[in-house]
Structure formats: structure tokens, C-alpha cells
Structure 1
């Protein structure tokens, strides 16, 4: 194994299992087990092949109105695996996937795993510099990329040591409809920039060649590496979280244990998969969990196209949904959302960033369903905590640790703090990564001597075991010695009816050390700075009230819609330095 550190001990290996040590256990729904059987956690390959065998005729994936079954997905994944093996892929070799949510993604994802490879998920919106760094750091031999982003690959290629580049189109695996989808992408939307990759091979050719011979079975174990999931983590340096098959498979079983009592007996679950599958939340909660239960993923290729997204939802029968705060906010305020049938929805889960109370309230008004907030990180495969799925309204917490998960809140010196006190949230469980890829120094920074992962998030454990995230440690603003947590200020600002979105940062100040500054996207253009500041004064103590409020048209966000406070702060500081 090429990970840089042994995997931490799993939860419960040496700790007391009493409810006093784990107050959340008393709050578990009656049907949810307190632990999963870690000895029976297998590989993601076994999970996928079992789904293909057990649910051959069920829909596995839907894209642009076309569905493919588990049997068809199994054949396509086997063809990808066969082709990779024919190209010389060896067990443990890294294969990069640079795709949005198109039909070919799941086939490529499982094909790489069946071939014995390790998946390196790549954000398609990366710049050539970012792409070069990640592919060189991971040592990827192959790259599957959507043709829309091939120009970026062309620019990076001279600095890379790739064996082959495979060009994927949005219409691959869509049958006759695929030609129309590609035509629109290339010539109507003009989404494909000119590029030259003469040695690249088309995915269609890969699928055809690979289908001629069945892939060779590869002995993959739970301790083999399934993913290098790149993240800035708690230090901001891009690095690959080494996720073993057993890390992700265990998290799937943990999520299933938490959710299964609420799924019902139906066999036709459809999960709205709007977060990109290269994001760890969608990867586990959508791709892997749906595979485990034989559900269907409704892939949304471009969730930023909110009108198109709403039209897709209007035509679909959906039972499950995953997203994050900004996505739910945009959908809840989108024209036409009232025409979507939410009557069969079992739950809508949110992660990736803090869910705001105002957004959750609006979502329930529109859909009749509360947002069930969870919490996780790339380093934890990702889910650590989740709210009960039977909540009636938004709780403002991230819920309870999942089965076989331990959490603690610690002071700067590493000592464990009692319930109610703020400190750094630390996690232990089978879903915790094996370490950062070839970075023992970075791994050491986030693992405690007794084997707990330090999340970098400030949290409080409530008396009943619920966990409440206060903020990111690095985002905290220090005003004259008082701690100000941006999440709290943002939550207040977005409750004003004239506000759509807000981001709060701290900027240097010669008198107070730092001041609170808010950047706001208005819903009502008539809203003034004075009116909003007065609203903040009515809801926040003096030192938390933003000293400056600036209205903007947009806020900087990641590709999945998470507001980038760090990028906003850098942008502001650079403009002041000019």
C-alpha cells in the first residue's frame, strides 16, 4: 500500500462503549444499530458486482431522459476494465476521471475499480496548472476527460506522463439521443473549445474494444486503495486523501444503517445526483449508496443551469435528493419549482457546507420536506454525522455520529472538552482515511497521537449527543479578543428578506486586530447598507455586527456551489494592496 501511514484504529476498538461516553447512542432511532459489523466490510467491487447480479433489470443511472440498467452498467464497466488491462494497467495504478455527471461516469468509475486501479477524481473546471499538479502528484497513467475540457488537457500534456487520454462526450451511452446531445453541446451551446490531442482515443472506441474480451478478475482486498480524493483539508495544501476500499465501503454501510429504516420497502428509489460525482459527498451518498440498495441515480450534468435543472425535475419521479445549501437556495427560489412533484420524496440531505435556517425554511415551504443536514470530509469518506431522517423541521445541528463513529471536541492542548464547550471536532471510525498520499508530514498534522482525525472545525457536543458546527478554525475572526464565527453572522444576514446570499470574512484593523466584513447578494435591490446593518444590530452583539457591508452580484464559489471565503478574502486583500 502506498499510503503514508497505517489506518487509524476503528471506533470502539479500545474505547468504552457506554452511553455516558457516547451520549448520542441514546438518541438513535430504535431501528438503527449502534455499530456496523466491520469484519464484514468488503470491497466496492464486491458491492457493485452484487448489485449487477441482484438487480439486473433495475434502472441504475438516468441522464438526459435515458436510463440504463444495472446489467448494462455492469457490461460497460467490464468493457472499461478490459480495455485498461489491455493497455497495461496494473493493480494499484492510478486513473484520473475528469468528468461532470454524464452517463459514462459510473461505467468508467466502476471499470477502473474492477481493473484493480485507483480512481483519482479531478474537477473538470481545473486550470492547466491545477490539473498538472494533481496528475503529477498522483502519478496517474490514464485520464478520462469530457471533450469540453480537452483544451485544458492539451495545455497540460507536455508536463504530464500519461499513457493514454480518453475523450468522453456528453452523449456517450445515450444511444441515438446521444448524437443530439453532442450536437447541442458542440454547435448550439459551443461548449467544446478547439483542441488537438492526436493520440487521444474516443470513449466509444474504448467501450467497443473492451467489450470484445471480458476483463480479468483482479484480487482486490479491503485494504487496497480505491480513491485518491484531493482536498485542501485543514491546511489549504492540495493533497490526496488515501481512501481504501474498506473506508468507503464502511461509510456506505454506515449510511445505509442510518437511512435504511426510512427508505421503505420500495425498490424504485431515484436519487437526484446534482453534486458532481467527483465530489466525495455525491460519490458515496449517491453513486455507492444507490448501488448498495439498487437505486437509480438521476444525473444532473450542469446543476448551475437552474432553469434546465427545474425542467428535469418537473419530468422526473424522485424519491431522494442530495445537495448543499446554495443549491437548495437556488432551487427553492427558482421559477417553476412549484410544478415539481415532491409527493414521493422520502428525504433531502444536505452536506458540503453549513445549511442556513432561512434556506431550510424556504425549502420546506416549497417541498413539504425538511432538509436533513449531515457532515463529513474527504478524509472521512465522507459522512461523520447526520440528523435523524424523521425530523419535522431544520435543527441547526449536523445531527448524531453514524454507527461505529466516535467524535470528541478537543482543546488546543488535545484534552477532551465536556459537552457544551467549543473546541476542535475530532473523529475516529472505519471511514477515516489511511493518510495523505505520500505526505507523512501533512498526515501527522491532522492525526492525534491516539489515532483521532482532527477536522479543523470548531464544534460543540450538545447534552443529547447532537453535534453543532460553529465554524472553521481558520475562518474565525478575532475582534478585540472576542471570537466571531462567520457562520453565525451569515445566518443572521440571510434571514433578512432582502438578502439572497452572504459571505463574512475578517480583515485586518489597526484598532481591533480584525473587523467583520460582509459581502451580500441582494434579493431586493432596494435594500440599503444602513437597513441591513440595523437588522444585524437587532440580532447580534456589537462586536459581531459587520463593520463594512458591500453588495455584490455574485460570490466566489467552488464548482459545487460552496462559497469560498478564502478566495474572497484574497481577492479583497489584493485589491487593497494595489
Structure 2
């Protein structure tokens, strides 16, 4: 068992833990009181100082209370990164309301499944920044609203949604719920408490050396744990300025980095490759950027991307690792630590890990086993799904990542593979069972199997499908079907039609053979 070490930014881990707020909003409100004129949130439509953020939070609180929201209710926010979304999240924090954050860039059927599971009192669609949110709002009959500094959004009020029990301690109350489809393909609400979110916000910020002088570029979705806890809350806790961008477009990104003197950028590996190419053009100059810290997460980092990025920017590319269920961070490279390999660093302060073999014994240093973690970052559980919770979370707080890992000679974690089949494409989790379930609904597909294929700096979805005998269906037909029924990042990059999927004598599809077939296709 290995525990994370102390933070080397002027405070010990214990000092940071003792200063964690009872609710996430309390830390932000402290900055509102001490630095009211400091810029807090910036987006294309405008900017808020910390004082204006405080006003927006109060307006959001009043709005929610006027709509009958009570402690223990679920409030669903269908959004892309925006100021109003952050204000409603912090207002929910003040009211002991759970904020279920959902990426607007999913299909309506996928969204409906989450609404059915979450059973929220209200659903807010942030139409001012997201065409997809507008589309969902129109399809589901939401009503347009216009509220002072919060701007325009749409509301879907529901009659269900019995409130959950309010915890005696605010830190144990659920702050955010983030949905992951899981290996079953069914949506599961990961319940992150105020303690979970505040812990990662404080610790990850301290490990990056964040201060009020920093400008943080937030393009990672706040509907995901990385963007919410590490990037957004980490920055706000430090009193920094957060530049919110709904989606990554390289030229818009570089213009913002230059014009706003951005100092901190967190992204997924493919972002750095396209940034480097754009910076080689006449339009942008690396010398114009003020970046002091860059990091990567959400997808595997390959040696080529690491070497190329560090050489071009002249600074370490900090790697890290985690899952939604761990808020998300388990390990992280230390500030300005130039790791020689693509390891994901050591456990963060306050987090313990162990690497075990099949029988449950800890493996020797350098050997591969299943990675488990325990600490204030581990989720409360899956919403109304005790059976799935018990599969991964023990009574004494150990969480099974279901990932295979080993330690290098310096104690850094190297992720060796997955015991589960989740695919991470461009920083987004893709679960084969969900894609397969969608493909299998196609009228001409008998069965399907989906695997992840490693490509430089990313992982792609490769779907193998078996169609009915004599069916007149092409790869392009299946692509069109996927475009209609799957969110963009879940759509297969490759589709292979087979007469029959390789299977064992019991009928189990042999995915190892599919990996071999995929590799052969790539070589050709």
C-alpha cells in the first residue's frame, strides 16, 4: 500500500485538508468577499468579476427557490462550459441541491435515459452557448427563460423527483452527479460529495501552484470530473481567472491564450498536436504565449506526443490519472517534474493505492496487477444502484479502478491496460456495451463487437458487425445510422462488416481475435 506524499507549494497536505470548506460554494464565496474586483469567469459573451459571480449565484438561488426546489432535489444542467452553468452549480451547493451535470453534445435518447434515472426536479438547458442544448430543449418541450445576469436558458419542470435525505454534514452531501454509462451500457450516476469535489479542487490546484495571478483555460467540459473538479474548481478555489470555452477549436484557443495571457492549460493529448501545428504558422507565435504549466489527462499519453510537446513548449507536460469515480484524480506528476516515461505520476497527497493480483495479494514492485485507490476523492457511490456500487467499492473505502498498473523505479504509476473494456477517445469515455447495444438495434445487424484501437495520442472506436444473410447494407449505411443515434465521440472511426464474428464454443465473442484483425487492417 502506497500513500501520496506532501505538496511542495508552501503548505503541507494536512494544512490543505484542514482548510477544506464544508460546501464547495463556501471557498468561492470567500474569494468573492476578499477579491470582489478580480476577474473570475470569462467567456466569449463577456466576463464576471468575483463580485458579479456572487451576484449571479444569488440570482440563481432565488430562481431555483421560486421554482420550488428544496434541499435534496436533483437539478440537471444540460450544458457546455459557460458562466451561467457555474453559477447554478454553486447556487445548488448553497441550497443542498444535487447538480447533475450533463454534456449537451449527446443524442436526445441518451439524454432521456439519464433524465429517467436521475429523476430531477428541474432540467436547465443552456441554450445561449450550445446549439445542441437548444435542440434538446425544443424536442423535450422546455420553456425559454431570461434571468438578469444569468441570461437566456430553457427550463423543463418535472412533477417527480422525490428529494434525497440531506446529510447532517455538508461535506457528506452530494454536490455533483456525473453520469457514466458503465460496462452495462446503462447510465450510472456517480455521486461526488462536497468533500470529493473540494478535495480535488484544493489539492490539484496546490499541486499546480495555482494563485490569483493565474489565468486558467477551461476547455475540458465541466460536465466531466476533470473539467469540473480540477480545472474549474481548482482555479476558483485559488482565486484565479477561468476562461471558459465550450469546445476546442485550435485557432480560437490560441487567440485566447495569447490575448488573455493564459498561464495554465489542461487538455487531452490530441489538443497539443494540433496546437503545435498551428503555432508553426505565421498567424501565431509561441513567444506571445505566457503559459507556465501544461498538463494532460483523460486519455493515454504516448511517448511521441510527450516528447514533441515538451520539446516545442520547453516545459514538462504533466501527466495524471483518474476516473469519474475518483473525482477524478488518483495520481499526478509533481510540479515541473520532468518524468522520463509516460507514467501518470505518484498518488496525490491524501490518496492511498495498492496493486493486487487475482487472489488479492499486493504484488511486488515492478509487477503488474489491478489498481485500487482509497481517499477523500472516492465517490459516495452510484445513484440508486447499490449492486453496482458494491462491485467496485469496499466497506472500508477501497475503490477498484479495474485498470492494470505497475510502479516504475521511482514509484510512479504506469497504466498497463484495462481489466474493463472502456475506450477513451479524445478524453471522453466510450463504453463498448453502449455502442454495441445501439448497433444491434439496426434492422440488418445480427450482432456487433466494439474494441478500442490505440493511435498516436488517442484511442479510436473500431466496430465489427455481423449482418443478416443477404442484407444489402454498407459501411456508409451503418455510419449514417451511428450519426443519427450516437454522440460524435462514441461513433466508430472504423467499421468492419463480417459474415460471422469470431466466437468460442459457448458463443462468446473473441475480442482478442478482433484486436488482431484490427491490427492487420492498420498494417495494410
Same fold (TM over 0.5): yes
Query: Is 1:298 matched with 2:253?
Result: no
Secondary structure of the residue that 2:68 maps to in structure 1? coil
Q: How far off its partner does 1:310 sit?
A: 2.5
**How far apart, in 2, do the equivalents of 1:447 and 1:298 lie?**
35
After superposition, the C-alpha distances for 1:487-516 in whole angstroms (9 at most, x for unaligned) are 9x84xx63xxxxx866486979xxxxxxxx
Q: Which SS does the other structure have where 1:334 is aligned?
A: helix
**1:325 pairs with 2:269:** yes
User: Compared with structure 1, are the counterparts of its residues 96 and 504 closer, same or farther at alpha carbon in structure 2 (3 Å cutoff)?
Assistant: closer
Q: Which residue of 1 aligns with 2:327?
A: 381
* Residue in 2 that maps onto 1:33: 12
Partner Cα distance (2:35, 2:374) in 1: 34
How far apart, in 2, do the equivalents of 1:560 and 1:426 lie? 31
d(CA) in 2 for partners of 1:132 and 1:411?
39
RMSD: 3.6
Q: 1:200 to 1:468 in 2, by over 3 A?
A: closer
Which ranges of 4 or more aligned residues in structure 1 deviate by more than 6 Å? 504-508
1:315 is matched with which residue? 259
**2:32 aligned with 1:48, yes or no?**
no
- May I ask how many residue pairs the two structures share in their alignment? 441
- Report deviation, 1:58: 0.7
TM-score, normalising length: structure 1: 0.68
* Secondary structure of 1:95's aligned partner: strand
Q: Alpha-carbon deviations, 1:147-191, whole Å to 9, x = none? A: 32222233345xxxxxx755589xx959xxx9xxx9xxxxxxxxx
Match of 1:353 in 2: 299
* Deviations 1:515-547 (CA, angstroms, capped at 9, x unpaired): xxxxxxxxxxxxxxxxxxxxxxxxxxxxxxxxx
1:577 and 1:167, CA in 2 relative to 1: closer, same or farther beyond 3 A?
A: farther
Distance (whole Å) between structure 2 residues aligned to residue 560 and residue 293 of structure 1: 34
Distance 1:52 1:339 in 2: 35
The residue that corresponds to 1:572 in the other structure is 495
Give 5+ residue unaligned stretches, structure 1: 1-20, 158-163, 183-191, 202-217, 478-485, 495-499, 509-551
Q: What corresponds to 1:423 in structure 2?
A: 369
The question of whether the paired residues in 1 share the 8 Å contact of 2:333 and 2:339 is answered with no
Residue 37 to residue 298, structure 1, CA distance change in 2 (3 Å): closer
2:221 and 2:80 map into 1 onto residues whose CA distance is 6
- Any residues of structure 2 matched to 1:20-99 within 5 Å, and which? 21-22=1-2, 25=5, 29=8, 33=12, 35=14, 38=17, 40-41=19-20, 42-64=22-44, 66-99=46-79
Which residue does the alignment assign to 1:287?
Answer: 232
- Which residue of structure 2 lines up, in the alignment, with residue 146 of structure 1? 126
Which protein has the bigger strand share? 2
For 1:128 and 1:39, how far apart are their aligned partners in 2? Answer: 43
1:315-349 per-position Cα deviation (integer Å, ceiling 9, x unaligned): 22011111111222222222547424465322112
* TM-score (norm: length of structure 2): 0.75
Residues 226 and 244, structure 1, Cα contact 8 Å, conserved in 2:
yes
Q: CA deviation at 1:29?
A: 4.6
Partners of 1:31 and 1:22 in 2: how far apart? 23
1:276 aligns with 2:256: no
**Cα gap change, 1:392 to 1:144, in 2 (>3 Å):** same
* Gap change, CA 1:457 and 1:220, over 3 Å in 2: same
How is 1:119-138 mapped onto 2 (pairs within 5 angstroms)?
119-138=99-118
Checking the alignment, whether the CA contact within 8 Å between 2:4 and 2:349 is kept in structure 1 is no
Deviation by residue 1:455-483 (Cα, 9 ceiling, x = unmatched): 12111123432111112223499xxxxxx
Structure-2 residue corresponding to 1:458: 404
Provide the secondary structure at the position in 2 that maps to 1:364: helix
Q: Does 1:405 align with 2:351?
A: yes
Q: How far did 1:300 drift?
A: 1.4
Equivalent runs, 1:501-516 vs 2, <5 Å: 503=460
Cα distance in 2 for partners of 1:329, 1:167 equals 40
For 2:443, the equivalent position in structure 1 comes to none
State the shift of 1:383 in Å: 1.1
**Cα distance change, pair 241–357 in 1 and its aligned pair in 2 (3 A):** same
Residue pair 1:342, 1:367 contacting (<8 A) in 2 also: no
**In the TM superposition, what is the alpha-carbon distance from 1:574 to its structure 2 partner?**
5.8
- With a CA cutoff of 8 Å and minimum separation of 6, indicate the structure with the bigger relative contact order: 1
Partner of 1:90, secondary structure, is: coil
Counterpart of 2:208 in 1: which secondary structure?
helix
